[in-house]
Structure 1
Amino acid sequence: GLTSAERQRLKELERENRELRRSNDILRQASAYFAKAEFDRLWKK
């Protein structure tokens, strides 16, 4: 079993992991959006 300190640490890491995944997702969507916008801009020249 884990000590209560270890359990607490695990909870913190899981929360941090969730937040990082969400940020990553947002950044991935944003970069895809901007890449597409740039591609469209170049295509229309």
Structure 2
Amino acid sequence: MEKVREIVEKFKLDFEDAIHFFLSQKIGELISNDRDMQRIGARF
């Protein structure tokens, strides 16, 4: 929750938008770090 709070303060987002932003970053990291996705050339 601390990361979401930092996003709220940094980007002046409401809580719901900050959660969506945080989760989309995490999903992007998972995709970027996944070997199968790297093999097919997925970029996020």
TM range (shorter): 0.5 to 0.7
Q: What secondary structure sits across from 2:13 in the alignment?
A: coil
The higher-RCO structure (CA 8 Å, 6+ apart) is 2
Number of residue equivalences: 28
Any stretches of 5+ residues in structure 2 without a counterpart?
1-11
TM-score (norm 1): 0.51
Any stretches of 5+ residues in structure 1 without a counterpart?
32-45
TM-score (norm 2): 0.52
The root-mean-square deviation of aligned C-alpha atoms, in Å, is 2.0
Look at both structures and tell me which one has the larger radius of gyration over its CA atoms. 1
Whether 1:15 aligns to 2:12 is no
Following TM superposition, the consecutive aligned residue runs of length 4 or more in structure 1 with deviations greater than 6 angstroms are none
What is the aligned-residue identity percentage?
A: 4
Bigger proportion of residues as helix: 1
Matches of 1:19 and 1:4, distance apart in 2? 23
Q: How does 1:5-44 map to 2 (within 5 A)?
A: 5-23=16-34, 26-27=35-36, 28=38
